A and B are shown apart, each in its own frame.
Chain A
Amino acid sequence: MSRLRTLAPVIGLVVFFALWEAFVRVREVRPFVLAAPSDILRYINRAPRDFFDASLVTAQQALIGFVGALLVSIVIASPLAAWNFLERAAQPVLILVQVAPFVAYISSVVLWLGSGDPPARFMAGLICLPGFVFAAVAGMRSADPASRELFASVDASRWQVLWRLRLPSAMPSLFTTARLNVGLALVVAYLVEGSNFADEGLGAIGKRALGQTIGDAVWATVFCMVVLGTLGLVVIGLLEKWLLHWHASQRSGAPSATQRAAR
């Protein structure tokens, strides 16, 4: 049963691709509008190495941005969670980052940071940041008042409260946001790769293919993005299982093995 649960995303993906294939075949959709998965796979198979390398580049940009945003958000969130005024003051700035259409200022960022990796990583991080900050602040605030009182009763330092109480309390909401941000980081990395004058990454392939209206190539990069996103979700799911085993979200109805042993 548990093996089936682990495989669930893969099964979902297979079903999705089967429906996609059927749709394209039955409706006879033109390749540029929507390529069939079998055609996409055939196209990728012509130069698998290129797509693999490009996927690695994009994954790396997204990962660095994602992890950077997570770390920065924790640094930013701890004073915001402790001080209401600061949170209110920071909110408009975070919203601004979130709602400003980043495609509009990508070229400015490229001018500022130069071509290649830095703007892709920076933008992926920047766009992930507001979600992580909101999640971290809300999570840190959710720390049990009884526990906070307990920490105060032994004169715990701010650092101790952050490390031993607030941060673990923020983990469930951070994981929820991480699921959203995986996709976001990938998409932003892809888009910046299309505008950073670099030849690497899925975004660069996609941009070139769009210019030459090669439908199969564009859809091949999309296919690779789907695979990357799914892998990202699987990794987060595994981390969650490991780090969040104590949380209600990780428990199914039946008692776990340890629970039965404990009784």
Chain B
Amino acid sequence: MFTAEGAAIELDQVAKRFGALPVVASTSLQIQPGTFVSLLGPSGCGKSTLLRMVAGLESSTHGTVTIDAASPSAARRLKQVAMVPQQPGLLPWRNVQANARLLLDVNPRTTPQHHPDPRELLAEVGLGDFLAAFPHQLSGGMQQRVALVRGFALGAPLILMDEPFAALDEITRAEMRELLARLLQQHPATVLFVTHSITEAVHLSDRVLVFSPRPATIVADIAVPTERPRPSDPEDHPAFIALCAEVRHRLHQGMGR
């Protein structure tokens, strides 16, 4: 049912309203296993709500979400969905290694038998010497690397990221993009990635979904055909710049400019 390369996701006329306020307008969408999809839109447009509905943390007012033929809450119960939040959310009383294991340790009965070794993952992201360090001893970038590893350690076919690099400085962000791309080559999964950064979206994604202001609707679905592994300095390539320009135009169109 769940493939190693990632989960297939289907949204069928999914809509969400908070009371009288429509947040997500009827949205239908199909995502192939192993695809990296960015959700790009103005802030407060409802894309995070959409992400939370896929995670099973929020129910839809209308329509259905399916993750490899299962409901989001069923997938959540089987630990098939890994979240990487905007704030690292590390537990200050757990050291790096214990934080990386957190999602495995919680509800251990449902932990999948085959999952990557968190220690190996930590070594892959350059934290092999920091297993016993505590979060307060780490820089913001290092903390977010632990949060990435915590997500990947579950070995889930679907990874949901809600602006995971938004709080980092530009240099660290570029580093984290590289790191994420490398991790995904080793440990493939379907990724939904909420972001405000056009270059980040184009650099990382196979598909960029551009959203309108609230209530969220998809105004453009742009494929990024660049082969992987991608160059680490995408800004040097005219094709990359052209794609970024297209995404930016569609974003502004969607915002009525």
Contacts and interface: CB of A to CB of B under 8 A. Distances in A.
A154 B86 contact: no
A223 interface: no
Most chain B CB within a 10 A radius of its CB, from A155, A156, A157: A155
A248 interface: yes
B106 A164 contact: yes
Interface string B55-77: 10100000000000000010011
A152 B85 CA distance: 12
Interface stretch (A6-14, A120-128, A143-151, A214-222): A143-151
Interface in B120-165: 129-130, 132-137, 154
B93 A149 contact: no
Most chain A CB within a 10 A radius of its CB, from B76, B91, B103: B91
B92 interface: yes
B57 A153 contact: yes
A153 B87 contact: no
A150 B100 CA distance: 12
A149 B93 CA distance: 18
Contact of B93 (A146, A156, A157, A246): A246
Interface in A152-167: 152-157, 160, 164-165
Contact of B110 (A152, A155, A259): A155
Interface residues of B, number: 32
A238 B73 CA distance: 44
Contacts of A156: 106-107
B112 to A, nearest CB: 11
A146 B133 contact: no
B85 A154 contact: no
Interface residues of A, number: 25
Contact of A150 (B89, B129, B133, B136): B89
A168 B130 contact: no
A146 B137 contact: no
Interface string A11-50: 0000000000000000000000000000000000000000
Nearest to A161: B106
Interface string A226-251: 00000000000000000001111001
B235 interface: no
B117 interface: no
B107 to A, nearest CB: 6
Most chain B CB within a 10 A radius of its CB, from A153, A251, A259: A153
A248 B136 contact: yes
A212 interface: no
A154 B133 contact: no
A262 interface: yes
Nearest to A245: B134
Interface string B98-119: 0000110111001000000000
A245 to B, nearest CB: 8
Given A144-B89, A165-B91, A251 B136 contact: yes
B93 A150 contact: no
Contacts of B88: 146
Interface of B: 55, 57, 73, 76-77, 79, 81-83, 85-89, 91-93, 102-103, 105-107, 110, 129-130, 132-137, 154
Given A150-B89, A154-B107, A160-B106, 9 more contacts: A144-B87, A149-B85, A150-B85, A153-B76, A154-B110, A258-B132, A258-B137, A262-B130, A262-B137
21 contacts: A144-B89, A146-B87, A146-B89, A151-B106, A153-B55, A153-B57, A153-B83, A153-B103, A154-B79, A154-B103, A154-B106, A154-B107, A160-B107, A164-B102, A168-B91, A246-B92, A246-B93, A246-B135, A248-B136, A262-B129, A262-B133
Interface of A: 144, 146-147, 149-157, 160, 164-165, 168, 171, 245-248, 251, 258-259, 262
Nearest 3 pairs of A and B residues by beta carbon: A146-B89, A153-B83, A146-B87
